């Protein structure tokens, strides 16, 4: 029974729960990025480029020996597009955070020296 209670303690710790939530959120975010790339970016950018190069079936390209270099090229292009989309998303999120940080702070009250000076002046009266 000791091992089961240790396992329950391990699962209930914040680190394990945070990791689980991070993995789930990461998978959901991955699905969003994949959909953005496959359904929006690829049709808008790559399809015209591939048609212009007359390489419509890139994944079907292969050598006589059966090496599917077209699939590899398609995977590299897909990776680059996904990496670029993530870069743009992170950059936009960071710029929004910077705008929040640079928002004018509410003016602080008088400094400690000013307060002491005011107290001294009041005591003199």
pLDDT in tens, 32-85: 878 887 787 777 766 665 555 544 566 666 677 777 777 777 778 778 877 887
In terms of Cβ atoms closer than 10 Å to its own Cβ (0-12, 13-18, 19+), residue 111 is exposed
Return the higher-pLDDT residue of 47 and 20: 20
In our burial notation (b when 16+ CB lie closer than 10 A, e otherwise), range 27-38 reads: eeeeeebeebbe
Q: Are 45 and 81 in contact (CB under 8 A)?
A: yes
pTM: 0.44
């Amino acid at each position: 029974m000791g091992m089961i209670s240790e396992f329950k303690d391990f699962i209930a710790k914040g680190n394990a729960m945070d990791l689980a939530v991070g993995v789930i959120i990461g998978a959901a975010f991955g699905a969003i990025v994949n959909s953005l790339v496959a359904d929006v970016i690829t049709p808008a950018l790559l399809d015209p480029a591939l048609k212009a190069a007359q390489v419509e079936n890139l994944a079907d390209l292969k050598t006589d020996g059966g090496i599917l270099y077209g699939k590899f090229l398609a995977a590299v292009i897909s990776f680059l597009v996904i990496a670029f989309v993530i870069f743009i998303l992170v950059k936009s999120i960071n710029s929004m955070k910077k705008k929040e940080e640079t928002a004018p702070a509410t003016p602080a009250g008088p400094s400690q020296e000013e307060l002491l000076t005011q107290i001294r002046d009041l005591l003199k009266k």
